[in-house]
Amino acid sequence: MSKKTGTLKRNFHAEAVLGPELSARLPQTKVLLVGAGGIGCELLKNIVLAGFGHITLLDLDTIDLSNLNRQFLFRKKDVKQSKALVAAKTAAAFNPNVRITPIHGNIKEPQFDIAWFRGFDIVLNALDNLDARRHVNKMCLAANVPLVESGTAGYLGQVQPIVKDRTECFDCVPKPTPKTFPVCTIRSTPSQPIHCIVWAKSYLIPQLFGEDEDSGGELDEAEKQGENAQEIATLRKEAQAFKVVRSLLRTTTESGESDAAKRAFEKVFHSDILNLLSMADMWKSRAPPTPLEFDAIRKGTFKLDKDSAQTNGTSNANGSARNGSKSAPGNTAAPENTPNDSQAASTSKPSLKDQRALTLQDSLELFVSSTNKLAARLQAGEDTISFDKDDDDTLDFVTAASNLRSAAYGIAGKTRWEVKEMAGNIIPAIATTNAIISGLIVLQAFHLLRKSYNKLRNVHVQFKPTMPLSSISMSPANPDCGICRDTYTELLCDPSRVTLGEVVSGILGENTRDVSVYEDKRVLSDPDWDDNLERTLESLNVTRGKFLSIVDDDGEYETIQVGIGALPPNHSVDESSFILPNPLPSPPKKVKPAPPAPSTPPPPQSKKRPAPDDGEAPSAKRPRTVDDASFTPSKRRRLEDDGLILLDSADEVIDDDAVIVID
Ligand SMILES: Nc1ncnc2c1ncn2[C@@H]1O[C@H](COP(=O)(O)OP(=O)(O)OP(=O)(O)O)[C@@H](O)[C@H]1O
Ligand SMILES: [Zn+2]
């Protein structure tokens, strides 16, 4: 204790800062930390040193080499090991008074149900994707456990404390949807590097190395419908050619040599482009692409059509150089690789592999070598391969294929690093931002544990030298939020025995009314369609950890979210297959929205639908027109999330230009 001997006790400073009450409570505090990545490592260090007594650390991933620059609890020897396990082991040594329970798993697994979440005093999110963050938000609302939500993107970061009924939840403010591109831009008329990267990642990889999607039936159907026979014949030829290449990629040859890569190249960069060129109308107002020639590129004798290269290349090269690479560390000097660089193969200087501009010849060789590697993996037993930014073979393939396509369309090329950044939607992570955010998370956690709700703040780290931190007082929940405004309850049951009908009538009790029932975005029943009510939850794939949403069809009551939990271990199989919550949930009445204006035509009567195939749970995909009043926020949100377009009146016109999503 005395200064002389230098033996102040370990938590001397923490006690001074936190005060005796909270510091006495911390050793008993149970905290769940979800994510052991950039923020997670910093945060684990903070809460271990602060003395949070019982820490459960959960992460689904293993350590990647690229994590080591900032995830300082990991060393090179730990690469490929579980993040949660290694982080827990390293951090445990910082404070012997703390117990860390690592879990290598996905937070969405069924065993992490409401009862499990309820076992924590506080939850801290250190996640990197919306889906998992939304899930934890919902589980914390259901379990009534405070959550601190956080995220960083480069120099920017934010911390958001969430307490049910006191603050906004993670979903109160809509999040921007991922960027989308029209399918025809991706498939036929790319004009920017990103179009070619999305094509390679989301179209070509699945076609060559993904699941076999037989388009034959679809084309037969189109033919029957009387669609353009010539175009169908062309598509059939294209599909057939993919089949041949797919099977070549999966066939081992005796010599070990295969021309599968060359055949793939000739199909996508030569024949398909020739086919497109034959549709003359397409190229009236835009520069036509140039079919590439495998042997000529290899020999260095291939010449690109300068005109087309110039038309697309110049404008896009400038734009993409500025937009695409601003955040990549160290790549500002990376030369913009125009297609005409193919002539300068011999002048390309070797530099760091990832940041070197590729010539056309380089791209072709990389295409061949990566295709061969991926083919070898299929032959060795891998079922399907999809793009993963940390899988070198798929990254090489996407780098090569997108650069070849860019060359054919006169678009500027991209380095492997830039492709990784764009295809993997990578925002560079900055250790210092993670550290600042982690410190702020702990401060908000202290306010929550003390129940000092008036001290809670949403804090932002921003790129403003005059005010790098901004803190905003908490806003109340959004009254239209389809997540936190719902009424949560829990049903303990055996999903293999209890039926959907039993759950719905049990939960509604005496308040029988017209309802629709959802699981996530799937409609399981509605007032016109009761076929599933006799089925067990298990047969409808509604299992522990999931929610059934009971939505009042007249929009009079708030939605009831029924979390599915397990029966207690001592519950005998001879007893009832479920235990209802006590008391039953009583959702508040909603304030009715104003009736639609007289000019609005009434929605058409809904029609009874046929039951879906027995083996499969039904999907929510059905066209429907609605008036605002009949769709509760939760229902509207679920439908919109699912890509359904809600028409506010029957005569509203929709723009049906198909889009694909980069995730
Ligand atoms: N559903 C989930 N369940 C458990 N952990 C998850 C889930 N989704 C994401 N995570 C974890 O959240 C962490 C987020 O950390 P971070 O943003 O630093 O990502 P990273 O994968 O470590 O880095 P990078 O994406 O830059 O390679 C990751 O370790 C990831 O495995
Ligand atoms: Zn909300």
Lowest mean pLDDT segment, chosen from 109-118, 126-135, 540-549, 601-610: 601-610
Is 129's C-beta closer than 6 angstroms to any atom of ligand 1? yes
Considering only CA atoms, which residue is closest to atom 17 of ligand 1?
Answer: 128
Tokens of 438: 């982690």
Considering only CA atoms, which residue is closest to atom 29 of ligand 1?
Answer: 37
Q: Thinking of the domain 188-423, which architecture would CATH place it in? A: Orthogonal Bundle (1.10)
Over range 14-33, report the average pLDDT: 93
pLDDT of residue 212: 66
**Among all residues, which ones are annotated catalytic?**
184
pLDDT of residue 51: 94
Would the pLDDT of 547 be above 90? Answer: yes
Phi-psi region of 241 (alpha: psi -120 to 50; beta: other; left: phi over 0): alpha
Ligand 2 centroid – CA 561 distance (Å): 14
pLDDT of residue 372: 94
Written out in words, the top-level CATH class of the domain with range 12-175+430-473 is alpha beta
Q: Confidence band (pLDDT; 50, 70, 90) for 426?
A: confident
Query: Which ipTM did the prediction report?
Result: 0.98
Q: Which ligand is closest to the CA of 133, given by its number? A: 1
Ligand 2 centroid – CA 274 distance (Å): 52
Ligand 1 centroid – CA 115 distance (Å): 24
Q: What is the CATH number of domain 487-596+614-650?
A: 3.10.290.20
pLDDT of residue 232: 66
CA dist 527 and 318 (Å) reads 57
pLDDT of residue 5: 53
Q: Is 169 annotated as a binding residue?
A: yes
Query: Helix %, strand %, coil % for the chain, to 5?
Result: 40, 15, 45
Ligand 1 centroid – CA 23 distance (Å): 30
Q: Which ligand is closest to the CA of 153, given by its number? A: 1
Domain ranges in the chain are 12-175+430-473, 188-423, 487-596+614-650
Sorted by sequence, the CB contacts under 8 Å of residue 64 that are 6+ apart come out as 79, 390
Q: Which of 184, 325, 268, 181 is nearest to 663 (CA)?
A: 181
Quote the mean pLDDT of the chain: 82
Pocket test for ligand 1, best of 33, 57, 59 (most atoms within 8 A of CB): 59
CA dist 395 and 328 (Å) reads 16
CA dist 298 and 361 (Å) reads 6
Cα dist from 488 to 138, 401, 502, 581, whole Å = 10, 49, 18, 11
Give the number of residues written for the chain.
Answer: 663
Question: pLDDT (tens digit, 9 = 90+) per residue, 365-422?
Answer: 999 999 999 999 999 999 899 999 889 999 999 999 999 999 999 999 999 999 998 9
Q: Which residue is associated with the tokens 């040594």?
A: 93
Cα dist from 213 to 192, 203, 207, 251, 384, whole Å = 27, 12, 8, 19, 12
Question: pLDDT (tens digit, 9 = 90+) per residue, 282-323?
Answer: 788 889 999 999 999 999 999 886 544 434 433 333 333 323
Is 42's C-beta closer than 6 angstroms to any atom of ligand 1? no
| 3-state SS, residue 613 | coil
pLDDT of residue 629: 40
pLDDT of residue 6: 61
Q: Confidence band (pLDDT; 50, 70, 90) for 242?
A: confident
Tokens of 306: 């300068």
Sorted by sequence, the CB contacts under 8 Å of residue 24 that are 6+ apart come out as none
Residue 282: burial class (beta carbons within 10 Å; 0-12, 13-18, 19+) = middle
CA dist 41 and 441 (Å) reads 13
Q: Is 131 annotated as a binding residue?
A: yes
Over range 464-478, report the average pLDDT: 93
Is 102's C-beta closer than 6 angstroms to any atom of ligand 1? no
Atom of ligand 1 nearest to the CA of 390: 27
